[in-house]
Amino acid sequence: MIQAIKGFRDVLPGDIELWQEIESEAVKVFENFGFKEIRVPVLEKTALFSRSIGENTDIVEKEMYTFEDRGGDMLTMRPEATASVVRSYIQHNMQADNPIRKLYTIGPMFRRERPQKGRYRQFYQINAEVFGIASPYIDAQIMVMLSHLLDRLGVTELSAHINSLGCPCCRPSFQNAIKEIAEKSGENLCDDCKRRKDKNPLRILDCKSVHCQEILKDAPVLTDFLCDECRDHFDIVKSSLESQGVKYTIDHKLVRGLDYYTKTAFELKTNMLGAQNSVAGGGRYDGLVKSLDGPDVPAIGFAIGFDRLVDVIAASRKPYIRTPEVFIMAPGNIPVSAVFSWICDLARDGIWADTDYSGKSLKSMMKRADKDGAKYVLIAGESEFEKETAILKNMATGEQEEVSFSGLVTRVIKIIRNL
């Protein structure tokens, strides 16, 4: 038997309902905040990701699904969506009439990580990006939007962590300070951090190794190095979140795994999912559009880990799962064409009517109806068929009513809808 690839999984009915609920809430909330949907391909040129995410990041060094296609192009299954949305913004010249765009996209991402709970090789993200607004109020606004979405979904177990990563004018001096500390402790760093200290010293801050954490225990914090502009920006983000009642913690170690972030960075964490504690992450990336040969427009965005958000919600409640409104029972010795047309007509009117066309006995069909959770059964047994009537029975109350074949659909709808 051929099975799905390791780290790739099916989302089955019974679980998918929660995914659908989250997705439809996200669409409603995002559109209320002025966002429009964009769909971008899952396959892009490799250079798009290596240039935007950064050569010395875990994603680009170790996690991408990259292959040469038959024409010799190097292609990559997208590990994240921001790079593709930025590419699309540039390619379609979206800044031409108005540089401001608020875009969201929902779909699968691919990273070759070690599969475990909350960590898959194909996983899903809900992304939102804003282009063309440099104001710190938009940073706060998208965090308010995220927090509002989570409120609507009944999620209370997440905490917001924020930091400022500075900008190209203030970050280098901080980077140097970290590099100096790292250089002094030389051999004691983990192997990853030995490489990081030259290429990407900030990443040492979020290294999981206890040795590296010990070395950086008394390191200075990035927010002490911010230039005036970055500091004012961060202050407004914080006070705006407070004014909207969005709680946060300042996390000096939060640096995010991608190179392109500037100023505001944030993450939503939970302690419900073990080691996979990050449910959403985002931040400002003012230099990215320009660095991919686009116009110099500021931008900010975030990604929600869809799989992990589902797990957080599923731990506290079940999704609403739809069951048939009515199960139609007609034993085998009577014509089934009438049942067929009732089912089609009822479905067109928004009523899920079902049958199994099995021609089995009424008793076994009743069992089926019960198992499927049908709210009503419509019984058209032999004697009813002769009289051209059927019996509609409410499974919960046992109440029943005889309905005539002529006008049956209209009558059934009236009873089911309680009109």
In the bound complex, what is the minimum distance in angstroms from residue 285's beta carbon to ligand ATP? 12
DSSP structure class, residue 80: -
Nearer to ligand ATP, 212 or 303 (CB): 303
Minimum distance of ligand ATP from residue 228's CB (angstroms): 29
Q: Can you tell me the distance from the alpha carbon of 378 to that of 365, in angstroms, rounded to the nearest whole number?
A: 11
Residue 111 Cβ vs ligand ATP, minimum distance, rounded to whole Å: 5
Rounded Cα gap, residues 180 and 175, in angstroms: 9
Q: Taking the complex as a whole, how short is the minimal distance between the CB of residue 316 and ligand ATP, in angstroms? A: 18
Nearer to ligand ATP, 207 or 330 (CB): 207
Nearer to ligand ATP, 207 or 365 (CB): 207
- The Cα–Cα gap between 107 and 105 comes to 7
How many Å apart are CA 43 and CA 30, to the nearest integer? 25
CB count in 10 Å sphere of residue 300: 28
Residue (282 or 294) nearer to ligand ATP, CB:
282
- CA–CA distance, 80 with 78 (Å, rounded to integer): 5
The string of DSSP letters for 223-271 reads GGG--HHHHHHHHHHHHHHHHTT--EEE-TT---SSTT-EEEEEEEE-S
Nearer to ligand ATP, 257 or 287 (CB): 257
Record the tokens describing residue 413, joined without a space: 């709808």
CB of 220 to ligand ATP, least distance (A): 23
* DSSP label of 202: G
Per the structure block, which two tokens stand in for 1? 């038997």
Minimum gap (Å) between residue 105 Cβ and ligand ATP: 13
Q: Which is nearer to ligand ATP, 161 or 393 (CB)?
A: 161
Phi first, then psi: give them for residue 18, nearest 5 degrees: -70, -40
Task: Find the length of the chain.
Answer: 419
d(CA 284, CA 261): 6
CB closer to ligand ATP, 205 vs 280 = 280
How near is the Cβ of 187 to ligand ATP at its closest, in Å?
27
Smallest gap from residue 183 Cβ to ligand ATP (A): 26
Radius of gyration of the chain (CA): 28
Which residues bind to ligand ATP, rule: CB under 6 A?
Answer: 80, 111, 113, 118-120, 123, 125, 257, 276, 278-281, 303, 305, 307-308
Nearest residue relative to ligand ATP (C-beta) = 305
Q: Which helix (H) or strand (E) holds 332?
A: none
